[in-house]
Amino acid sequence: MTSAEAAIERLCDLVAQVSAHYVIANTGEITQLVPENMRAWHAGVGRWHGQDDINSRSIGIELDNDSSHPFSEPLMHSLETLLEQIMDRWNIPPEGVIGHSDFAPGRKVDPGPRFDWTRLARQNLVAKSPPKGCTDDDFTTLAGSAGYDTSVAPDDLLQAVRLRWNQSSTGPLSQNDHVVLKA
């Protein structure tokens, strides 16, 4: 969407059949569209840690950014505040905070390569690294251990992992892609 206002209009349109619990504008203004205890239609089809129907088990936050520029400071500050509140209310661990590209590789790419996951990790609002414990060097196995749906196309899986953990990497699968999942 071209603006937070346009996103809110679309998310409130019954014909569109999409919604979210919150929208955060570039200005930092937070608009709640759906109560947290109700289901929103923000996620669509996807899987995370082997679970489907992400809409029924998540709180959706839409961010006013088209991925062509960094996220604004007011937006990030509001997101940090809102995440902390939601995590406290619902006892959500940092590992439970994910982006659309995490649970729907190949179908969703947001929040995109300019999203500052590291900033949120420093505040313990998202996982600092993928879960450890898998010693197999196979990328698909490592990605599955981190929570990704490994039934998607290999290129989509690689893109999703890179959008979250290895944003500077390009080209074919490399040893560095394995390393970020073992960190």
State percent of the chain over pLDDT 90. Answer: 54
Count Cα neighbours of 25 within 13 Å in the Cβ-side half-sphere: 11
Q: How far is C-alpha 127 from the chain's CA centre?
A: 11
Say what the pLDDT of residue 111 is.
93
Query: Strand, helix or coil at 156?
Result: helix
Say what the pLDDT of residue 138 is.
74
What does the pLDDT average to over 37-44?
A: 89
Domain range summary for the chain, segments of one domain joined by +: 1-128, 131-183
Please determine, for residue 5, whether its predicted confidence score (pLDDT) is greater than 60: yes
- Per the CATH hierarchy, to which homologous superfamily does domain 1-128 belong? Peptidoglycan recognition protein-like (3.40.80.10)
Round the CA-based radius of gyration of the chain to a whole number and report it.
16
pLDDT digits (tens, 9 = 90+) for 104-148: 988 888 999 899 999 999 999 998 876 554 333 478 888 888 899
Q: Which pLDDT band, with edges at 50, 70 and 90, does 167 fall under? A: confident
Say what the pLDDT of residue 130 is.
63
Q: Which of the residues are catalytic?
A: 62
Say what the pLDDT of residue 131 is.
54
Q: Which pLDDT band, with edges at 50, 70 and 90, does 32 fall under? A: very high
Say what the pLDDT of residue 174 is.
73
Query: What gap in Å lies between CA 21 and CA 179, rounded to an integer?
Result: 35
Q: Give the full edge-to-edge strand order of the sheet including 30-32.
A: 30-32, 22-24, 61-63
Range with lowest mean pLDDT among 5-19, 69-83, 123-137: 123-137
